Structure 1
Amino acid sequence: MKLISWNVNGLRAVLKKDFDATFKTLDADWFCLQETKMQAGQATVDTPGYYQYFNYAQRKGYSGTAIFTKHQPEQVTYGIGIPEFDDEGRVITLEYPRFFLITVYTPNSGSELKRLDYRQRFDQAFQAYTTELAAQKPVVYCGDLNVAHQPIDLKNPTSNHHNAGFTDEERQDFTRQLDAGFVDTFRHFYPDQTDIYSWWSYRFGARSRNAGWRIDYFVASNNFIDVIEDAKIHTEITGSDHCPVELVTKDLIGD
């Protein structure tokens, strides 16, 4: 089975950039989006055969997440039950008999790290949320986590040290999440792979120079690892400043 995650940097914008063709080509069982930047009724996404779930931020044109899936869940949960985070539409959880699937758009710490404290509170709350779910059944979550975990995960680690997405605090928070019983699935398969990223700044021709960051992930609880088969990063797909990332698994739905 195939799961895709993509920060589209505005769903209405990417719909004008061959999103439909990309969606059909990838043909995922679950297609998770972050940074949809829209409100209910502002766009129609034609995805025959898929159930659609959206979580909108209260602030217009900001944040937001969505999941399109071929497989109807038992339950859908929006947010993590904490208003200061849930107002920004950052999390959707689908529950299935065998596992939980979560899409998440982690807050960016912002220029001059103005939101680092908010982001760290989110990280702590999200870790508590995922750990509680993993005690019930396996969990896989995906999305733009806004952190490059190790120096191998960005082109210029030295010059970006202490910048948003590569602060010691953000990296340590992600390490704590993994230490709580989770795994970065791409590094599970490709621990030493260099020069492969999922986000490039629009400035300075960063993508053409491959001066990027790997900040989009599929993270799985340890009790999910036996069903994953591969992880991929679709650097060839454009339309956003991020590219889609993929997780391939055994059958998660059948008897």
Structure 2
Amino acid sequence: MILISWNIDSLNAALTGTSSRAEETRQVLKAIRNQKADVIAIQETKLRATGPTKKHLDILTTEFPQYDLVWRSAEEPARKSYAGTMFLYKKDLNPVVSFPVIGAPEPMDNEGRIITLEFPNYFVTQVYTPNSGSGLKRLDERQIWDDRYRKYLAKLDQQKPVLASGDYNCAHEEIDLKHPDNNHHSAGFTDEERIGFSKLLQAGFTDTFRKVNGNIEGVYSWWAQRIKTAKINNSGWRIDYWLTSNRIANLVKRSEMMATGARADHCPILLEITI
């Protein structure tokens, strides 16, 4: 089974944009399609509360004809066209879909951040974890989110094994970013966020990238767009993950980043598992 997760940074821009960046994004979508993944998780869709438009659906149906899709967008009181998630999955899979509310600080539960697919023998769930923000103004709320999300994932794990993916907005260890010394007070690498991620793993989950690849250095999943040399110099962060329940971690065959060429921001992450 192959699964891919990607923070796309606006599905509308990817599907209908005319900029060079939009074309770069479409090339990444093409690469994802060519992998023939069973499940594709997409974060930060930035769609309206009503979801994908007819034009979006027509394009997705044309590009991914063998897939069904489900989506979750931000809705009031959350900001419009903010965050949001989507799953594409092969038509023969027929999962039970849920849109969990985890009791996070308002309006995080309304920002379209989690979708879960239930299969007969396992769950696949994705998350777009809230960013602590400029000046760490959302750090307190982020810590509550981390606590509630961990409890949600642990509850799933009590029922059947879990495959969890997404943009976790946290570089867990110093090896997970290029310049750790300069970022201990930056969103995504605070002690609080890293402790929260450690607690998530301690609740019964495995970081599959480290499981498969060990302490390899210089492999990241995100490079800042606003810093033009970030991608060129590989000055990145690994903040996107495929996690699995510990009891199925040995079934993982591959856990890796997909190349995106010159395109900065997030790259897709791929998991291959025998399950």
Task: Classify the TM-score, shorter chain.
Answer: over 0.9
With the length of structure 1 as denominator, give the TM-score of the two structures. 0.93
Does 2:23 match 1:2? no
Write the distance in 1 (CA, Å) between the matches of 2:35 and 2:168: 22
Gaps of 5+ in 1: none
Cα distance per residue 1:10-64 (max 9 Å; x no partner) = 1111224225523322221100000000121433222211110101011322100
Write the distance in 2 (CA, Å) between the matches of 1:146 and 1:215: 5
Write the distance in 2 (CA, Å) between the matches of 1:24 and 1:78: 25
% identical equivalent positions: 43
Report what 2:204 is aligned to. Answer: 181
Report what 2:45 is aligned to. Answer: 36
Aligned length: 251
**Contact 1:52–1:69 under 8 Å retained in 2:** yes
Write the distance in 2 (CA, Å) between the matches of 1:117 and 1:14: 33
Between structures 1 and 2, the one with greater helix share? 2
Question: Superposition pairs for residues 1-255 of structure 1, below 5 Å?
Answer: 1-15=1-15, 16-17=22-23, 18=26, 20-39=29-48, 40-42=51-53, 43-44=56-57, 45-46=60-61, 47-58=64-75, 59-70=79-90, 71-82=92-103, 84=106, 85-204=108-227, 205-236=229-260, 241-250=265-274, 252=275
With the length of structure 2 as denominator, give the TM-score of the two structures. 0.87
Tell me the SS of whatever aligns to 1:212. Answer: coil
Gaps of 5+ in 2: 16-21
Deviation at 1:99, TM superposition (A): 0.3
Following TM superposition, the consecutive aligned residue runs of length 4 or more in structure 1 with deviations greater than 6 angstroms are none
Cα distance per residue 1:71-99 (max 9 Å; x no partner) = 43441111334373320000000000110
Deviates more, 1:175-184 or 1:224-233: 224-233
Deviation at 1:192, TM superposition (A): 1.1
Deviation at 1:236, TM superposition (A): 3.6
Deviates more, 1:31-40 or 1:18-27: 18-27
Deviation at 1:112, TM superposition (A): 0.5
The one-letter code of the counterpart of 2:179 is N
Judging changes above 3 Å, is the alpha-carbon distance between structure 1 residues 4 and 237 closer, same or farther for their aligned structure 2 residues? farther
**Contact 2:224–2:264 under 8 Å retained in 1:** no
Deviation at 1:132, TM superposition (A): 0.7
Judging changes above 3 Å, is the alpha-carbon distance between structure 1 residues 74 and 5 closer, same or farther for their aligned structure 2 residues? closer
Write the distance in 1 (CA, Å) between the matches of 2:95 and 2:255: 26
Query: Structure with the greater relative contact order (CA < 8 A, sep ≥ 6): 1 or 2?
Result: 1
Deviates more, 1:51-60 or 1:209-218: 51-60
Give the RMSD, CA atoms, in angstroms.
1.6
